Amino acid sequence: MRRHTYGFTIIDLLITMAIIGILAAIAYPTYQNYVIKAREENVRADMSENISLLERYYSLNKTFNTYTDAQLTKKRSETFFTIRGAYKESSYTLTATPTEANSGETKNVVYNSVEGWSLCKKDTSKDKDDTSESKDDKYICEPF
């Protein structure tokens, strides 16, 4: 009498779980990078809209000094970034800093009206020659 077995063996299930685990280990970091890039592009879109508003403001008032952060629009990125500005007489800098809800993001998106776009990351390296007790954060920036 022959015995028929139906279903999967435990070895079949273990191999399937191992394959799924390997695929997940590869796919998850890729997905996280995609999410971070999408959020950076959303804040860049908001900042581009603000740049247009700032340039229009300058054409009417001949200065950026009187512009305030309350006038900045943050439609797409307010959950994940805080946008702030530094306004001078004839130039400005917009900086988008990641919020706590934006886990995994370590870079600030910066637009300077003179220098353009950049992504800036805090410099965590210790300089042996730097003995100053300055509390200013140092950043390493790259074009964006």
Instruction: Say which residues have a Cβ less than 8 Å from residue 94's Cβ, sequence separation at least 6.
Output: 47, 50, 51, 54, 72, 83, 84, 85, 110, 111
- Predicted TM-score of the model (pTM): 0.74
What is d(CA 18, CA 64) in angstroms, rounded to the nearest whole number?
59
**pLDDT digit string, tens, across residues 14-65:** 999 999 999 999 999 999 999 999 999 999 999 999 999 999 999 999 999 9
Q: Which residue has the tokens 């079949």?
A: 12
Among residues 85, 96, 92, the alpha carbon closest in space to that of 61 is found at 92
